[in-house]
Amino acid sequence: MELLNATVIDRQERKITAVPVSREVPLTIEVNDKELATLLCSPEHIENLVGGFLYKSGIIRDLSQMTSIIIDEERWKANVTIAGEGFADDFVFKRIYTSGCGKGVIFHNPLDLINRVKIISDFSVGSEIIRTFMKEFQKQSEEHHLTHGIHSAALASGEEILIFRDDIGRHNAIDKVVGEALAKNIGFTDKFLLTSGRISSEILSKALRCRMPIIAAIGAPTNQAVKLASQVGLTIVGLVKGPRMIVFSGEERIV
């Protein structure tokens, strides 16, 4: 966070006050010395973000393919070396600009996953656990309470929240969670995702690529996300606020 002077107007009173504001940096990711993408992101947990982004874009299958990663915090560049040739070339013409903050980019069409991936899981979670975890989730981000300019994401088991991350972009927050889980060898098939944002088709595709069976969100899903989730057997729980939630697909997993 950064403190910036701003004019606070409260009724008829005006005063100059130092206000906390979330930081934003343009992070350029280079793969094998070729520029792949620039992400507008928060400048924390950058290695998690890069690993999660490359994994969920389909560029790597696991973190072991990344033989090195160098973060330049002066120019905000992440130079990644991946075993093998042609990774960046394979994806340069497959960019899809998403509905996310800062014009997010992914390297596959979410529809491409539908015929290749199905969620086959008997994992279930109680609605009361979702309510409890969401309440805890909303309290974890000190930066959100100070700036209201940040998104959050988390990975949870049926017993606890395992990983929590913040970022100015909801896509980036999820990628940071996935990157940390990969680094810690935490599996996804018996976990669920918590997110502060809406669930669009590209957010759905991130969970689908990880074979996560459930997404729970404070925000609402899009119609396309619900249709795709129903086809692949993924559970979407949206508008989780207080005692209320709406299960849009895969209701059998919410007990």
pLDDT in tens, 108-148: 555 565 566 789 899 999 999 999 999 999 999 999 999 99
Write out the residue limits of the CATH 3.10.20.10 domain(s) in the chain: 25-109
Give the predicted TM-score (pTM) of the model. 0.88
Q: Which CATH architecture is the domain 127-253 placed in?
A: 3-Layer(aba) Sandwich (3.40)
Report the CATH number of the 25-109 domain: 3.10.20.10
Write out the residue limits of the CATH 3.40.140.10 domain(s) in the chain: 127-253
Active-site residue list: 101
* Among 216, 253, 250, residue whose Cα is nearest residue 233: 250
Hey, is 186 helix, strand or coil? Answer: coil
Span 27-73, pLDDT tens digits: 999 999 999 989 999 999 999 999 999 998 888 999 999 999 999 99
Under 8 Å CB-to-CB from 1, ≥6 apart: which residues? 20, 21, 22, 23, 143, 146, 147
